[in-house]
Structure 1
């Protein structure tokens, strides 16, 4: 229970931190045009059937990446290491971590803010490439001291591809909603956390 409470607190802090810059940008530039939630893509999904299929396909890809990482990062401390071997006791904390501690704040910043704002200036293709690369670099930087050059490059490449795919689903299939990428991201992190809790 203590772990779950810690994850709730961490989630609130992460959401506030990752939302601060987008909120300030919206407040000074767009608050008279639309609500903050609409502005960052927290809105109804369009094209539900196509979106559902895209979510399944990208989730499988993202999940494959996550499991490859877990196999390659044995005995290395990561964000999910605290769940290792805890079994059912870790499930509430894993759910909170997967949905609110990582997926939600990261989707707000990368797909809700960076992608959308850059797309207004550069067009979707360039903006999606940039947000994907930034997402990959963030994850690569976190692991570089632990895994070395080759694995870091692989992490950057694969997470960038996943981010690029999530950006495409949101903007080109789902009408600009970030909910699809939030679902993809959360499911992948959830299964990765469960894998650690039960199988490592």
Structure 2
């Protein structure tokens, strides 16, 4: 399982990096350096205090909204990452898989695409309030695919609202951290996203 996840993660990361390269190539003279275009650079050290404070609020709130609501059953269903982990059982290999998926596959690649490419472009074109809100809505909406995925839950408005709003709000906060606190770096958002997944996956799979 670990070998397959390493391959899957590498392929996903390469695809997102390729998309970033294509977008960069079409950006013309305004693109600057690739790392600036995508946010792949270190933020100022002062940003970590605000990022840590945001994580202390956002992560427990997100986990509580999932754990104490019907979202828990959906998040731990058989066709989800946590459902897959639960089916395999706890082991050293599963710990390695959790680290790989949480830190890279579902955080680095999503942050690079949604915050490093999509949010940045929308914020440049439309300004922070509109651009960030539109990006966050798209980030939340992509999670609604679970309703049409094989083995997905039956649609209901409250469930759909929760599945949409939690990532949408999280995405908005992460992009705001990146652009206003991290001087455009995607690392603050990556830190919050990765830590959230790192806590959520074992909690939902084995809690």
| Range of TM-score over shorter length | 0.7 to 0.9
Of 107, 114, 119, the residue aligned with 1:115 is 119
Conserved in 2, the CA contact under 8 Å of 1:132 and 1:163? yes
Kindly state the Cα deviation for residue 35 of structure 1 after the two structures are TM-superposed.
2.7
Which has the bigger relative contact order, CA under 8 A and spacing at least 6? 1
Asked whether the equivalents of residues 140 and 153 of structure 1 are also in contact (C-alpha less than 8 Å), the reply is: no
Tell me what 2:98 maps to: 94
Runs (5+) with no aligned partner, structure 2:
none
Count of residues in correspondence between the two structures: 197
8 Å contact kept, 1:167–1:181:
yes
Q: Deviations over 1:6-41 (max 9, x none)?
A: 111111111122232221111232578533222111
Q: 1:195 to 1:22 in 2, by over 3 A?
A: same
Which runs of structure 1 show a deviation greater than 4 angstroms over 4 or more consecutive aligned residues? 30-33
Q: Is the 8 A contact 1:136 1:156 kept in 2?
A: yes
Give, in whole Å, the separation in 2 of the partners of 1:120 and 1:64. Answer: 34
Confirm or deny: 8 A CA contact 1:15 1:105 kept in the other structure. Answer: yes
Provide the alpha-carbon RMSD of the alignment: 2.2
Partner of 1:71: 72
Look up the match of 1:149: 156
**Is 1:84 the equivalent of 2:91?**
no
Q: CA deviation at 1:78?
A: 0.9
With normalisation by structure 2, the TM-score equals 0.84
